[in-house]
C-alpha cells in the first residue's frame, strides 16, 4: 500500500509503508509541501495578470527535488479545455524528460485535479499528488467519479497517494 498522509489539526499523520521514517520527518515533509504549493500560488498570481479570464489554478511536477513541469490554467485564454494546469505540467515534463513514464514525479497542485486531468495523471503513472483545495463535483478524487482512486481499470497501475489540504485557505483565497 502506498503511504497515505492526513492532516489532523495542522499535524501530518502518516499511514502505510515506511511510516516510521516518514512520521519522523513529517514536519519537514509538510514544510516542503507547503513551500511548493506557496511557490505555485505566487507564480500563479503573476501569470494571472496575462490570463484574467482563467481560473487561478496552478500545478507543478517535481522529480528528485527539481521542477520538471509546470502549468497554469489557460482553457479560456486559448479556447481549449485541455489547457488545464495539470495537463500543461504533464506536457512540459514529457517534453523535458522525453518519456511518458512520470511515476517518479510528485504533482503539487493548488486544486484537486478534475476528471479529465485525473485520467491524464493516471495514464502517466504519477504516484503522489499533493493538493490544496477540493474541486467539488468535477474533482477526480472527492466527487462521485473518483478516477484517482479507482483500482479496477486493469490498464492502470495502482492508484496514487493523494493528500488534500496543504495551504487550503491560501488556495481558496486565490479564487476570491
Ligand atoms: Zn483539469
| Residue tagged active-site, from 73, 86, 88, 112 | 86
CA 70 to centroid of ligand 1, rounded, Å:
14
**Distance, CA of 139 to CA of 145 (rounded, Å):** 7
**Distance, CA of 155 to CA of 172 (rounded, Å):** 35
Contact 16, 163 (CB under 8 A): no
CA 9 to centroid of ligand 1, rounded, Å:
29
Contact 36, 155 (CB under 8 A): no
Mean pLDDT is highest, among 68-72, 116-120, 149-153, for 116-120
- Annotation says 170 is catalytic: no
pTM of the model as a whole = 0.84
* CA 22 from centre of chain: 20
Only one residue has cell 495523471, namely: 121
Residues 102-140: tens digit of each pLDDT: 999 999 999 999 999 999 999 999 999 999 999 999 999
- Higher per-residue pLDDT: 22 or 128: 128
CA 117 to centroid of ligand 1, rounded, Å:
4
CA-closest candidate to residue 48, choices 60, 61, 57: 57
Mean pLDDT is highest, among 33-37, 111-115, 162-166, for 111-115
164: left (phi over 0), alpha (psi -120 to 50) or beta: beta
Contact 165, 13 (CB under 8 A): no
CA 121 to centroid of ligand 1, rounded, Å:
10
Amino acid at each position: 500500500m502506498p503511504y497515505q498522509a492526513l492532516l489532523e489539526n495542522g499535524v501530518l499523520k502518516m499511514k502505510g509503508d515506511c511510516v516510521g521514517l516518514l512520521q519522523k520527518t513529517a514536519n519537514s515533509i509538510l514544510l516542503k509541501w507547503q513551500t511548493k504549493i506557496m511557490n505555485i500560488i505566487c507564480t500563479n498570481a503573476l501569470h494571472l495578470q496575462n490570463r484574467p479570464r482563467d481560473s487561478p489554478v496552478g500545478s507543478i511536477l517535481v522529480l528528485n527535488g527539481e521542477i520538471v513541469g509546470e502549468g497554469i490554467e489557460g482553457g479560456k485564454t486559448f479556447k481549449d479545455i485541455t489547457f488545464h494546469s495539470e495537463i500543461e505540467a504533464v506536457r512540459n515534463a514529457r517534453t523535458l524528460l522525453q518519456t511518458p513514464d512520470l511515476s517518479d514525479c510528485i504533482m503539487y497542485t493548488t486544486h484537486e485535479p478534475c476528471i479529465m486531468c485525473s485520467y491524464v495523471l493516471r495514464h502517466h503513472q504519477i504516484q503522489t499528488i499533493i493538493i490544496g483545495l477540493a474541486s467539488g463535483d468535477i474533482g477526480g478524487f472527492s466527487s462521485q467519479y473518483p478516477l484517482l482512486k479507482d483500482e479496477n481499470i486493469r490498464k492502470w497501475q495502482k492508484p496514487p497517494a493523494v493528500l488534500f489540504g496543504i495551504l487550503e485557505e491560501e488556495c481558496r483565497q486565490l479564487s476570491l
